[in-house]
Structure 1
């Protein structure tokens, strides 16, 4: 009787690429730890750095903090929507005022927003849903 090989005969599909943007590096490290088992994660500590990375790489999802020095996450996500419409956008914020919620829907077309402190389970679940929506929007 022959034993089955431990490795799959077909190569694994490439992991979805996620861009995480936050000026707090410790938070980025926590997010990467939670997401890296399932996704290829890149990080940026400012919206300017994130825009540079976006020009050189393709991502299915971007998760950005709202309040950062040198530019806020919402404005960054609005610009990202214009250039990369299929990339799903998630905003992380400490509070969501009604006018910000309206702008997030109308201008940034956010997939979702996460309130701080972010539950890592929620982060992983929202990211998985956003990747699925990205894939559907590209196929559709």
Structure 2
């Protein structure tokens, strides 16, 4: 991973003091974007290249899981982390099955633990991107080789 590259992290939470605490804690380590609703979160995703999404589970209108599930079709690449102050096994199961959540972390978060999990999520994002890029290169190289071989067989 390139040390010059900093993770773009979107944090979605309806509680303004949590948004401020997150930004204050992580703004020196990551490029932090915040949103206080699922609607605002989607707007950030549409305008920024987000690598990691961290969202609170309990929000009015749309839960964190519903938000994550709703953005997967349009934004499948960001790695997703769910935060909650409530231990709800059904939420954990839904997070994994519907929201494709990488980590489920309880509030209040431990700053070092959350930072490490965001760093690991960003590493996973970069590895997946590199894998996708390499696969595309291999497909293109294979296509060129097939065209070359086909040309030699025709002559």
Q: TM-score higher than 0.5 here?
A: yes
Out of 82, 94, 115, the position equivalent to 2:106 is 115
Q: How does 1:90-105 map to 2 (within 5 A)?
A: 90-105=81-96
Taking the aligned partners of 2:9 and 2:28, their CA distance within structure 1 comes to 12
Larger Rg: 2
The alpha carbon displacement at 1:51 in A equals 0.8
Match of 2:7 in 1: 16
Q: CA RMSD in A?
A: 1.3
Out of 28, 33, 36, the position equivalent to 1:42 is 33
Query: How many residues matched?
Result: 129
Question: What are structure 2's unaligned runs of at least 5 residues?
Answer: 132-155
Question: What are structure 1's unaligned runs of at least 5 residues?
Answer: 1-11
TM-score by length of 2: 0.78
Structure with the bigger percentage of helix: 2
The alpha carbon displacement at 1:18 in A equals 0.6
Q: How does 1:62-101 map to 2 (within 5 A)?
A: 62-101=53-92
Taking the aligned partners of 1:135 and 1:81, their CA distance within structure 2 comes to 18
The alpha carbon displacement at 1:126 in A equals 0.7
TM-score by length of 1: 0.86
Runs of 4+ in 1 over 6 A off after TM superposition: none
